[in-house]
Homo-oligomer: A and B are copies of this chain.
Amino acid sequence: MELKAKAYSSSANLGPGYDVLAMAVNLFYDEVFVKIEKSDRISVETVNVSGPFSSYVPIHENTATVAAKEFLKRYGLRAKIKLEIVKNVPVGRGLGSSGATAAATVAALAKAFNISDANGLVEIAAEGERVAAGSPHPDNVAASLLGGVVLIYSRKPLKVVKIPLKVKPKILIISPEPIVIKDKTKYARSLVPKTVPLENVVFNTGRIAALITGLITGDLSLAGEGMEDSIVEPARKPILPLYFEIKEKLKDMGALGVCVSGAGPSILAMFDPNTPKSVIEKIRKYVIKEYRKKGMETHVYNARISDGAKVEVIKG
């Protein structure tokens, strides 16, 4: 059997939702071609990696192979699997690149073996993430796999729920060319404090509750206020060039909420769906100018919340 799966980039945290919230974003997608043959052993191999970010994907032990092995192991299956990865999601920007590859792989296998266990599939794809980030973190993969905005509200056992959205906001992703940091996600996680003052806990629990309320009821102003984080973003200031400098200005110019995308350096800004193009264009120009002043190039992308991974059977 041959299948082709695509899974979108994603933005984790959304402010106060460190390790629990993520949003699928229709900016970039990875494709994974999966060929499955009968076998009485487990064999998983990546036979090709192409696409603009292919140089970042090791041919052995990448997120796709690890996730595929985990999939077979978990469901007690044996097969010979060959993978071809098309790596389009930029690496190191905080857009869930490794998660997209793992999610596409798992989505294809779920289709092939007719498995519809969302919590289990997210857990498997998160294992794939382990090779990219040092530990399995399920937020990005959950978003890329299921689409929309996802909440992981329990880790052991893993439990995921999709947040129903009344209104789909406009999203702007501001993505500076990253400074190359080895093991970026690991380093970014090491900056997060191990203990947190109670007042920040109160702040963040209040904010995530506002974010969820706003998203479900369609009150995007409230959701935007709910994107404030007092714990993780301040701690990561050293790896977030210009974020704190431009954030309030973006809100003054029309953004309802502004947060760091995953471990950064990308920034996610949320807007009312009816925001005029002229407002977005003005912000785009402002942002590019501000980064240029500091000698940095940045991309500014219009985006939307995307669907989950899509799978096509190429050969039954």
A205 touching B202 in the complex, CB below 8 Å, given contacts A161-B210, A213-B212: no
Which B residues are CB-close (under 8 A) to A16?
Answer: 205
CB neighbours of A153 from chain B (8 A)? 206-207, 209-210, 222, 225-226
Interface residue tally for chain A (C-beta within 8 Å): 41
User: Which of A17, A209, A226: most chain B CB closer than 10 A?
Assistant: A209
Which chain A residues in 181-212 approach chain B with CB under 8 Å?
Answer: 192-198, 201-212
* Chain A residues within CB distance 8 Å of chain B: 16-21, 151-155, 159, 161, 163-164, 192-198, 201-213, 216-217, 222, 225-226, 231
Ordered by A's residue number, 5 sampled pairs between the chains whose C-beta atoms are within 8 Å are A161-B210, A196-B197, A205-B205, A209-B211, A209-B212
Q: Which residues of B contact A155 (CB under 8 A)?
A: 202-203, 206
Our pick among B18, B195, B206, B225 for the contact of A202 (Cβ within 8 Å) is B18
Q: Which listed residue, B17, B163, B196, B222, touches A198 by the CB 8 Å rule?
A: B196
Verify A225–B19 contact, CB threshold 8 A. no
What's the Cα separation between A159 and B201 when bound, in Å? 17
Distance between Cα atoms of A225 and B160 in the complex (Å) = 12
Quick one: given A159-B225, A161-B213, A216-B217, are A201 and B208 in contact (CB under 8 Å)? Answer: no
In angstroms, Cα B286 to Cα A64, docked, is 52
> Which residues of chain B are within 8 angstroms of A159 by Cβ–Cβ distance?
225
Tell which of B151, B197, B213, B231 touches A206, judged by Cβ atoms closer than 8 Å.
Answer: B151
Report the minimum CB–CB distance from A68 to chain B (whole Å). Answer: 28
A17 to B151, CA, bound (A): 17
User: In the complex the two chains form, is B196's CB within 8 Å of A21's CB?
Assistant: no
Residues of B within 8 A of A161 (CB): 210, 213, 222
A203 to chain B, nearest CB (A): 8
Smallest CB separation, A176 vs chain B (Å): 27
Identity of the chain B residue whose Cβ is nearest the Cβ of A212 in the assembled complex = B212
| B201 pairs with A154, CB closer than 8 A | no
Establish whether residues A151 and B193, one from each chain, have CB atoms under 8 Å apart when the complex forms: no
